Every structure is written in structure tokens, then in C-alpha cells.
Amino acid sequence: MSSTASQIIGRIGAILAIAVWSAWITACANVGLVRIIRPAEASAVMAIRDGALIRSSFCDIIAEPVSEKLLHRFQKSGAFGGLGASLAEEEALTIFHLIITNTTRGPIWLSDARLSYSGMPHQSLLPDELSARLNADPESCKALMRYYRLLADRESAQDILYEKETVESLYPFISSDDRAIRLVVFDRPPPWIHRITLTLRFTTPAGEHETAIDFIREEYRTAGKEFRMPKRQSHDDEEFE
């Protein structure tokens, strides 16, 4: 092979290498991480939009995972102490939006919230813990976790006009036949955890009651408009982590 031919082949190789490198850089720039939490199939649970409705003898609960889009809606409306932007920037959190309807003749209140996976329960964050995590005003974090009366018949956080249809409750409990909103915040589970259980304990004048709701977590990466989404398991194949 002549020296001229070798030079041509070398230049072609260099051009191809640069093209491959540029394509790889572009792909990396367009790669994003998508996180989805959806209710697991269960006979006692009804899926509503992105949330789960479960009924009991003391209350009806709609538990809805809070997406980044919802957090920005909270910020825009000033709901929950206006911390939507701060929560959206803190990726290491998992948040649930609860709509609780008291179906008893007396008051009820949420006394405990846990997120369980891999056989271990994890308590919801307290206002002081969240304040330290977000470097936010402690009073704003307390406001975030108060009850807010829901004045309209809504079944999803996506449909609520917070500035018009909610008002901060004056009481640390939910009155009879009242409908209230409450947020619960947890540390985000590791990415390899695909099944989580949200357990809510309610206290009533007649005693304590617990309700558990299973959710499926999915995390996958995107490349531009192409979604590399994992194959969804059937309900029969799903197992607790």
C-alpha cells in the first residue's frame, strides 16, 4: 500500500472517530432520567389518574405520587407554603399527595406515615428534617405538612385549583364528613427498588387504624424523543423487594 493511500485511510479513520465521539456527546446531552410511581394492581384499590383510591370504615384515601410538574403547580399557586420549587430541586425525595375524606362521626388525624421496601419501614420526614434538607424556613415546612380543607369535589391533585379550592385548616385533625389534603415526604428509595408500600396510620376516638397501599416504581433513561422503557411486569410476576 502506497503512502498516499495510507494517509487517506488514516484521515478517513480520524473523521469517523470524530463523528462517533460527537454523536456520543450529543446523545449524553439528551439523556434524561424519568421516574414513574403508579399504583399496584389490587382488588381493594381503584386507580384514579396517577393515584390510588382506597376506602375504609373510617375514611376514603386518594394517595397520589407527586411529580415535578405538580410541584411547580404548587409553587405557582403558592400552595403548601410555596415550597414547590425547593422540593422539585431536591431529587432525593419521594412525596405523596393525600386527599382524605372523614367518613366517621368524629374527628380523625394522620398519626404516622411509613414507606416500606426491602422489608424495612422508613418514616416520613418531620418539618425540622425537611427544613434542614431544603435549607428552608422551618415555618414554611410546617405549613407544608398541615391539613388543607378541600372545598371542591376533586379526585386528583392535577385537577385542584389550590388558590381557589383549598384553605388551610384551623385544626390539627379532620372533622366529620370533611375532606382534607395532606402531603407526606420521604427519602427517595434506591433506584433498584421497584415496589414500595405506603402505610398510613389514622387515630380516631375509637382507636387506631392502618391502611397500606402498594406502588410500583419505574426508572428509565431517555435519549431525545426515544424512550428506553423497561418491559412492564405483569401483576402475577411482581414481587416485593
* Residue range 47-88, pLDDT digits in tens: 988 899 999 888 999 999 998 888 878 877 777 766 655 676
pLDDT of residue 165: 93
pLDDT of residue 240: 40
Under 8 Å between Cβ of 170 and 148: no
- Does pTM surpass 0.95? no
- Sign (positive/negative) of CA torsion 172, 173, 175, 181? positive
128 found inside a domain = yes
**Number of folded domains in the chain?**
1
Dihedral pair phi/psi, residue 3, rounded to 5°: -65, -35
Grid coordinates representing 115 are: 414507606
152 found inside a domain = yes
- Where in the sequence is the domain holding 211, given as residue range(s)? 34-227
Burial classification of residue 110, based on how many CB atoms lie within 10 Å of its CB (0-12 exposed, 13-18 middle, 19 or more buried): buried
Burial classification of residue 14, based on how many CB atoms lie within 10 Å of its CB (0-12 exposed, 13-18 middle, 19 or more buried): exposed
126 found inside a domain = yes
Distance between CA atoms of residues 4 and 168, nearest Å = 80
182 found inside a domain = yes
List, as own/partner pairs, every contact residues 205-209 make where C-beta atoms lie below 8 angstroms and the sequence separation is at least 24, other chains included. 205/106, 205/107, 206/104, 206/106, 208/111, 209/56, 209/57, 209/58
Distance between CA atoms of residues 20 and 13, nearest Å = 11
Question: Within the chain, which residues score under 50 in pLDDT?
Answer: 20-21, 24-30, 226-228, 233-241
pLDDT of residue 94: 93
pLDDT of residue 89: 67
Three-state SS annotation for the chain:
CCHHHHHHHHHHHHHHHHHHHHHHHHHHHHEEEEEEEEECCCCCEEEECCEEEEECCCEEEEEEECCHHHHHHHHHHCHHHHCHHHHHHCCCEEEEEEEEEECCCCCEEEEEEEEEECCEEEECCCHHHHHHHHCCCHHHHHHHCCCEEECCCCCCHHHCCHHHHEEECCCCCECCCCEEEEEEEEECCCCCCCEEEEEEEEEECCEEEEEEEEEEEEEEEEECCEECCCCCCCCCCCCCC
Q: What CATH number is given to the structural domain containing 154?
A: 2.60.40
pLDDT of residue 241: 40
